[in-house]
Structure 1
Amino acid sequence: MTEPRVDLEALFSRARTTLASAPREALGEVVQPRRVLGVARAPRVQRRGDAWHLGVLLVTDDAVLATGDVVRAREEARRGYTATSQRERAELAAAAFRGGFAEGESVHVGWRMLDLDAVARGEASGPLALVDGVPSVRWSQAGGYTALAGYLDERIELLRHPPQGA
């Protein structure tokens, strides 16, 4: 079953060529710094490269990743949040700022490497799967699968030519 792998590689190779001049977004990883004199320091987000953000996928020069959280780095400030999720996102944004990301820079954290070989064998890897032999992507947890080729074309067009005001 090597043909789907060729299709996947060709799809992502074509995408990378088309995206060559398109803007990329930062990839980061949350790290817990070593303790200093027994005192814990605040976590920070370290830069791990960059990728083109295509909906539920992140495409790098040599890999395909599933998105995780996206935050904009910002200086830590005391805020009153009613929701724990808001507080956690604010802490993640502050960790990105502490890690050296510029104020307001978009940072992807919690992303996962996808296994294109597994997809070629008919297994799912994150949002990617073969559906009736066609490489497909699930663009939301509740949504169904759509053909990967069309999805990539649409997302690349949106990245290269965003709607006015976006």
Structure 2
Amino acid sequence: MITEKEESIINQKQGIIEDLKVCISYTPNKENDLLCLMEQYLKAEEKNRRKILKEIERCINGEKYENPFLAYNHYDEKDIRKLDNILDEFIDKVRVISKTSNDLDQKVEEILVDTIFKINELHDKCYGELVDSWRSIRLIELIASSAKGVGYENAIDIINKKRLW
């Protein structure tokens, strides 16, 4: 049976995951896409400009063209699923810790450090684009409130010492 607190934590996690998905979804918009393509053209090396010009031409002519924002996406669905799994694993591990355990603090700290390390690795793999400031705040809240739910009060200190996002 899921408690109200656990449901709140699951909803927090889902909000973070949904935000990540929205950021990589793409809906063609001729004007925005042309601006993006033109910016890429101006910044591109000479050898890459011809390809971008062809995409600009396709866009202007209403033909199918490549998503111009792909160049800016440094994470994809696979990375989002991996973060989702890391957070699920964290929530599950914290949930099963006994509140009366003698070494509660040590167990929670180990789980926290392991989780932060995994998020750091994934964030680094995604060129520092996975966890922006909005997601960082939400992740800290999620992780800290999960730890607090089992009676551990120092999660924010550990998170802030170990996180690279």
**TM-score, length basis structure 2:** 0.30
Relative to total residues, which structure has the larger helix share, 1 or 2? 2
Determine which structure has greater relative contact order: mean sequence separation of CA pairs < 8 Å that are 6+ residues apart, divided by chain length.
2
**TM-score, length basis structure 1:** 0.30
